[in-house]
Amino acid sequence: MAQSRQKSYTDVRRRSLVIEVDDWVYLEVSPMKGVMRFGKKRKLSPRYIGPCRISKRIGIVVYELDLPQELAAFYPMFHISMLKKCMGDPLLIVPTENVGIMDILSYEDILVHILDRQVRKLRTTEVVAIKVLWRNQIFEEAT
């Protein structure tokens, strides 16, 4: 009876993840406290790295990943609980190395092109709205 109760508690948190070969996934990273991994420390350390392509399915819950060159020292087989499926197109992801982050944890947006300009009239004032394409963004993400 106790095992049945514990199983029901566990099943609420369990997720069914269906991953096929050649899918793209993120790899969960759980850095130990105080250990500097993947270039950042403590709060700024990434929770997931990737995306990585699944090259082979080893067992029911074990997958082999094609890791990038900087992670070549790691063993490439991971349990399904350490993977998160990549829902978007991994080719559209902007690499973080190209974005220059300053010491105050901000980066400078550089204007590429002004796409549109509108003037909205209120009762006594006019508000100008400009649509701008910034560096490191695609055309659909212009603000």
Taking domain 2-92, whether its CATH number is 2.30.30 is answered by: yes
Q: Does residue 106 register a pLDDT over 60?
A: yes
Question: What pLDDT does 103 receive?
Answer: 63
- At 27-40, the pLDDT tens digits run 887 655 555 555 56
* Average confidence (pLDDT) over 99-117: 73
Are the C-beta atoms of residues 25 and 86 closer than 8 Å to each other? yes
Question: What pLDDT does 64 receive?
Answer: 93
- pTM to 2 decimals? 0.53
- At 44-88, the pLDDT tens digits run 767 788 788 999 999 888 999 998 887 788 888 988 888 888 887
Q: Does residue 99 register a pLDDT over 60?
A: no
Q: Where are the domains of the chain?
A: 2-92, 96-143
- At 1-26, the pLDDT tens digits run 999 999 888 888 777 778 889 889 98
DSSP letters, the chain, are -HHHHHHHHHHHH-------TT-EEEEE--PPTT--BTTB-GGGS-SEEEEEEEEEE-SSSEEEEE--GGGTTS-SEEEGGGEEE--S-GGGPPPTTSS---TTS-----EEEEEEEEEEE-SS-EEEEEEEEETT--GGG--
CA distance 82 to 50: 12
Question: What pLDDT does 137 receive?
Answer: 76
Question: What pLDDT does 27 receive?
Answer: 86
Question: What pLDDT does 9 receive?
Answer: 86
Question: What pLDDT does 16 receive?
Answer: 75
